[in-house]
């Protein structure tokens, strides 16, 4: 069953009934001011940091789902009937309800009692504010007298404190109201230099800023007192819970429309210019007023919306494909690319599942996210790389997380996740391949943000590799430390205290537990660093990295191979994990993917064998589960992985992030049907028809789909913020379609389903535009036989970079 449909032309998902199985959300904002918005206008906004600069309040895990948002109410002044045009919070009967989630905007429209309302929500590029543009139309054949109310609840900035520290924050709330603008200025009187504002384009009949007056003490958002009686109270908040509500009266002739604009924004004043007049306690509004006035003008709001559309057209225009499969087309061209940009902006901070108060940016996560967005915003990828590298520790190790506002490593989570450093090499390699900008390698970057500790970025990469080499275990495999990619495989943790964090609790340091996964990752990273050394003309260094890689490759084949698949690890006692010898957890997905990506076992049949084992033991109709058999009870020597009930999360869930590794591995061994089949199983668009089961948004990947051991097999969770976005984009675009940036140019090496006869693509790369046409006979998957560039045959399938501005026509034949 579906709850809407894709509008591919407009790059929108159109939700046609409000009661989706879960709130289906979208993101607003692209640089600094962000928000999440659901299909019924739920959600919240923040400036830069979802915890420390939260503008509006949202209560997670609420009932009914998703209460708190950017609400509007309409009230018929004659009948007293009132409703929410976005369905929530009144949940009144609506006709023609539609929510269009687009690129950086959402539009919600509906009709009730002959009154149409459509609201467009978006954040203009380069501004720290959001616009709600509402159009109310009278479709009755008589005049309509209406009241329009807006409603938001302000958050007192620090979202954690806001939800916990009531003895203080029930006394701090302050606002100012001037004309049609409500200013929220809690703590501005003391150490903050910022405030929020909520403005309306129309003269007001009234306003409210005290939540409990607006709602009435025992009313919910579905029946605010002010709306029920049709008149605001003009309340001014002193402490308690500041809110923002405007009341606008509208009289509409039959057929008449009226546009009302609301602007919600964030503003900082210089320390010495906070107040006007100086010495008073009144906000200085001189600088913010012109900005507010500008976006309250319809033509400015429209212009800003057009700029936002252009911004996205440009980003998405960097890769556009036309294949025989609509699910591939819309994910690669629109939604997967969009999700990659969102994960770049949010990391893992704010979604319906990530409360915005918990985690910082992951060192590993951010480097992987980069793989998916580097082609769209290379300058911002550069900045991100330098920020991440500056938190690296002198040992080459890494803080597992860092804070976006301060850009410093997070001490509370600490380090010791031994895969982290290697991801920096992969992130930097992806940047170099896309841009050719080797100057980044000479950038002087600190360790642990310590001034004076700078070294060129290249040395950071060298230290990353050395970090692993200096931490080898009894089998010469890399020590796992706290965990490797799988945060929940905690082999040195031995936690028995309820509630203790598996990630931060003190570990036993046995120096024994090893990770085959890091072994594979190391081989991959060593080859990447060797290529980077070559770019710098250091062939001797390149050789030594390749030798390190070859040595690890041999170790993995010897101690990491189980006979039918790659093993997962050795535990604290030196016992094997992920082996036929284990009753539970005898085969894991991660080493099969990573070792083959690194090229281990391609020449001796191990790769195919491992992939066959994945197919027979791990693959399900809803995707590939993380391991089998699931852990039926808690294993103190394995940690968090066995804390989840079977089939969920890392305990044999379909952890979507890992599936593309197998897709890529299948393309490496040339099995295009298998690669594409796995791609289709978790492609959200291809799962649209089972939305009732899947439950999450059909336009973005979830982190997890419940595995076959779970009672809710096939049900997705944790949509949006996941490494799944980047890796699926990489798998589809670079390995299945096979358009891959390399240091030496653009490689075209597709591995397609047998039945396809080719596809077309446009790719912008280092300033030139490539029109690519791939043709093949049915029955073949892989093997480029001929490449013609601008009418001339070229040797091989790597196309050297073309001059900036060039239009390049590329014809590729397979088989």
Question: Which residues in this chain contact ligand GLC in the complex, by CB under 6 A?
Answer: 348, 362, 364-365, 485-488, 503, 640, 649-650, 657, 703, 722-723
Biggest alpha carbon–alpha carbon distance for the chain: 85
Residue 278: count other Cβ atoms within 10 Å of its Cβ. Answer: 9
Question: What are phi and psi for residue 695, nearest 5 degrees?
Answer: 70, -35
Q: How far is the CB of 350 from ligand GLC (least distance, A)?
A: 14
- Can you say whether residue 691 is alpha, beta or left, with left for phi > 0 and alpha for psi between -120 and 50 degrees? alpha
Which residue number, 430 or 594, has a Cβ lying nearer to ligand GLC? Answer: 594
Q: How far is the CB of 698 from ligand GLC (least distance, A)?
A: 21
Q: How far is the CB of 368 from ligand GLC (least distance, A)?
A: 8
Which residue number, 158 or 487, has a Cβ lying nearer to ligand GLC? Answer: 487
Rounded CA separation 585/634 (Å) = 12
Q: What is the DSSP string of 732-783?
A: IIIIIS-EEEETTEEEE--B--TT--EEEEEEEETTEEEEEEEE--TT--B-
Rounded CA separation 113/141 (Å) = 12
Continuous segment of H or E residues that includes residue 184: strand 181-184
Q: How far is the CB of 461 from ligand GLC (least distance, A)?
A: 20
Catalogue the E-assigned strands of 512-588: 514-515, 569-570, 576-577, 587-588
DSSP 690: G
Q: Select the residue whose beta carbon is closest to ligand GLC and give its number.
A: 487
Q: How far is the CB of 341 from ligand GLC (least distance, A)?
A: 18
Which residue number, 228 or 408, has a Cβ lying nearer to ligand GLC? Answer: 408
Rounded CA separation 260/148 (Å) = 9
Q: Catalytic residue numbers?
A: 487
Beta bridge partners of 472: 478
Which residue number, 364 or 375, has a Cβ lying nearer to ligand GLC? Answer: 364
Start-end of H helices in 41-136: none
Tokens of 150: 């807006």
Which residue number, 246 or 400, has a Cβ lying nearer to ligand GLC? Answer: 400
Q: How far is the CB of 578 from ligand GLC (least distance, A)?
A: 15
Residue whose entry in the numeric block shows the structure tokens 């790389």: 385
**153 close to 143: Cβ distance less than 8 angstroms:** no
Rounded CA separation 398/471 (Å) = 14
Which residue number, 183 or 363, has a Cβ lying nearer to ligand GLC? Answer: 363
Contacts of 575 (CB under 8 A, 6+ apart): none
Rounded CA separation 15/100 (Å) = 6
Q: Which of 320, 425, 317 is nearest to 377 (CA)?
A: 317
């Amino acid at each position: 069953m579906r709850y809407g449909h894709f509008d591919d032309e407009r790059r929108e998902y159109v939700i046609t009934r409000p009661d989706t199985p879960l709130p289906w959300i979208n993101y607003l904002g692209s640089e600094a001011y962000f928000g999440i918005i659901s299909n019924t206008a739920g959600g919240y906004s923040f400036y830069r940091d979802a915890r420390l600069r939260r503008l509006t309040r949202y209560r997670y895990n609420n009932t009914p789902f998703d209460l708190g948002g950017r609400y509007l109410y309409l009230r018929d002044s004659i009948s007293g009937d009132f409703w929410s045009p976005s369905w929530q919070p009144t949940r009144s009967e609506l006709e023609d309800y539609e929510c269009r989630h687009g690129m950086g905007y959402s539009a919600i429209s509906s009709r009730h009692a002959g009154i149409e309302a459509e609201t467009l929500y978006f954040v203009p590029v380069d501004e720290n504010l959001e616009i709600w543009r509402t159009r109310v139309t009278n479709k009755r054949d008589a005049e309509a007298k209406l009241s329009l109310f807006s409603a938001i609840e302000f958050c007192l900035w620090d979202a954690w404190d806001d939800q916990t520290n009531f003895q203080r924050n029930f006394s701090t709330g302050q606002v100012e109201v001037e004309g049609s603008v409500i200013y929220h200025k809690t703590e501005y009187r003391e150490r903050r230099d910022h405030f929020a504002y909520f403005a309306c384009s129309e003269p007001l009949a009234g306003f409210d800023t005290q939540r409990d007056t607006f709602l009435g003490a025992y009313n919910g958002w579905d029946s605010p007192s002010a709306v029920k009686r049709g008149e605001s109270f003009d309340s001014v908040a002193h402490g308690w819970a500041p809110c923002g509500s405007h009341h606008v009266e509208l009289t509409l002739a039959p057929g008449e429309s009226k546009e009302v604009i609301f602007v919600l924004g964030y503003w900082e004043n210089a320390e010495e210019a906070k107040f006007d007049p100086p010495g008073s306690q009144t906000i200085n509004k001189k600088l913010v007023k012109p900005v507010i006035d500008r976006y309250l003008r319809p033509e400015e709001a429209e212009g800003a919306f057009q700029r936002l559309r252009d911004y996205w057209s440009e980003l998405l225009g960097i890769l556009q494909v036309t294949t025989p499969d609509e699910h591939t087309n819309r994910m690669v061209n629109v939604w997967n690319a969009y999700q990659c940009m969102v994960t770049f902006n949010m990391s893992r901070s704010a979604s319906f599942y990530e409360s915005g108060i918990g985690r910082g940016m992951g060192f590993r996560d951010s480097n992987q996210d980069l793989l998916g967005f580097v082609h769209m915003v290379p300058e911002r990828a550069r900045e991100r790389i330098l920020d991440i590298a500056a938190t690296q520790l002198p040992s080459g190790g890494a803080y597992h997380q860092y804070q976006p506002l301060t850009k410093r490593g997070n001490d509370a989570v600490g380090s010791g996740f031994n895969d982290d450093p290697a991801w920096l090499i992969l992130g930097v390699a992806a940047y170099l391949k896309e841009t050719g900008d080797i100057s980044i390698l000479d950038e002087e970057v600190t360790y642990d943000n310590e001034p004076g500790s700078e070294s060129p970025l290249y040395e950071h990469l060298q230290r990353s590799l050395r970090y692993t080499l200096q931490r080898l275990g009894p089998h010469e495999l890399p020590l796992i430390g706290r965990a490797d990619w799988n945060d929940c495989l905690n082999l040195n943790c031995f936690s028995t205290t309820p509630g203790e964090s598996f990630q931060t609790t003190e570990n036993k340091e046995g120096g024994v537990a090893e990770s085959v996964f890091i072994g594979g990752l190391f081989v991959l990273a060593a080859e990447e660093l060797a290529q980077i050394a070559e770019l710098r003309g250091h062939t001797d260094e390149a050789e030594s990295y390749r030798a390190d890689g070859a040595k690890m490759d041999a170790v993995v084949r010897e101690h990491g191979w189980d006979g039918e698949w790659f093993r997962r690890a050795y535990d604290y006692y030196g016992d094997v994990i992920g082996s036929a010898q284990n009753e539970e957890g005898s085969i894991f997905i991660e080493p099969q993917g990573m070792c083959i990506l690194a090229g281990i076992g391609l020449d001796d049949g191990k790769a195919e064998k491992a992939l066959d084992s994945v197919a027979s033991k791990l693959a399900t109709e809803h995707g590939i589960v993380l391991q089998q058999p699931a852990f039926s009870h808690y294993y103190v020597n394995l940690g968090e992985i066995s804390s989840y009930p079977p089939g969920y999360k890392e305990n044999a869930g379909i952890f979507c992030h890992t599936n593309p590794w197998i897709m890529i591995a299948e393309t490496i061994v040339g099995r295009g049907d298998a690669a594409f089949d796995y791609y289709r199983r978790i492609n959200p668009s291809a799962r649209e028809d089972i939305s009732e089961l899947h439950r999450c948004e059909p336009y973005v990947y979830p982190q997890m789909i419940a595995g076959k051991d779970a009672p809710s097999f096939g049900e997705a969770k944790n949509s949006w913020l996941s490494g799944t976005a980047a890796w699926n984009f990489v798998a589809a675009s670079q390995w299945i379609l096979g358009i891959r940036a390399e240091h030496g140019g653009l490689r075209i090496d597709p591995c397609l389903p047998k039945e396809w006869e080719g596809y077309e693509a446009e790719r912008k790369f280092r300033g030139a535009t490539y029109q690519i046409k791939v043709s093949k006979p049915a029955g073949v998957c892989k093997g480029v036989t001929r490449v013609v560039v601008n009418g001339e045959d070229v040797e091989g399938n790597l196309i050297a970079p073309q001059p900036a501005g060039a239009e390049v026509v590329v014809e590729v034949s397979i088989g």
